[in-house]
Amino acid sequence: MGSARPLDFGHWSAHKLESLTGHEVRHGEAVAIGIALDTRYSVRRGLLAAGNDERVYRLLERLGFRLWHRALEDRNAEGRLSVLAGLEEFREHLGGQLTITLLTGIGTGHEVNEMDMALIEECLDWLKERATVSREPALTP
C-alpha cells in the first residue's frame, strides 16, 4: 500500500498524450502507450528483468494497440519534449508529490518519486523504433 494508485500505471504520459492530440488518441490507447513506455523505463532503470518490456509490448500490440503517436515527438519553445510536462501535471494530479508506479515484476509495482528525463527520451526512442518495424501503422495526427 503506497501513495500511488496501481491503476495509475502508464497514466502520467497518457493524460498528456490525450491533451497533445486534442483527445484524438483515446484514453485506452494512450494508456497502452504509457504502459509500454513505463515498462521499458522499468527495464532500463534496472527494476524489471530485461525482455519483459518486449513481452508487454508484444502483448499490447497483439491486442490491437498501436504504440506510437507522432505527438510524442512534439517539443515546446525550449526544445523539451512536450510529453515530459505530463510529469509535472501528474504531480499536481496527485496533490503535490510525484509518485509513479513502475514494475519490478509483471504485476508487481514499485513506486518512485522522480524520473530521469534523458532515460524517458531514450525509452520514447525505443517505442518509435519499434513502431517503425511493426506491421501496424502508427497513429497519426
Give me the CATH number covering residue 36: 1.20.1090.10
- The band of 4, judged by pLDDT with boundaries at 50, 70 and 90, is low
Residue 140 falls within a domain, yes or no?
Answer: no
Condensed to tens digits (0 to 9), the pLDDT of residues 15-44 reads: 999 999 999 999 999 999 999 999 999 999
**Percentage above 70 pLDDT, the chain:** 89
Q: Is 14 among the domain residues? A: yes
% of residues, the chain, pLDDT over 90: 73
Q: Please measure the distance between the N-terminal and C-terminal CA atoms of the chain and give it in whole angstroms.
A: 38
**Is residue 62 in a domain?**
yes
Which grid cell is 111?
513506486
- Does the residue 139 lie in any domain? no
Amino acid at residue number 64:
G
29 phi/psi in degrees, rounded to 5:
-65, -45
> What is the domain range of residue 92?
6-133
Say if residue 134 is exposed, middle or buried (CB neighbours under 10 Å; 0-12, 13-18, 19+). Answer: middle
Q: Which amino acid is at 100?
A: I
Total domains present in the chain: 1
138 domain residue, yes or no? no
Establish if 38 belongs to a structural domain.
yes
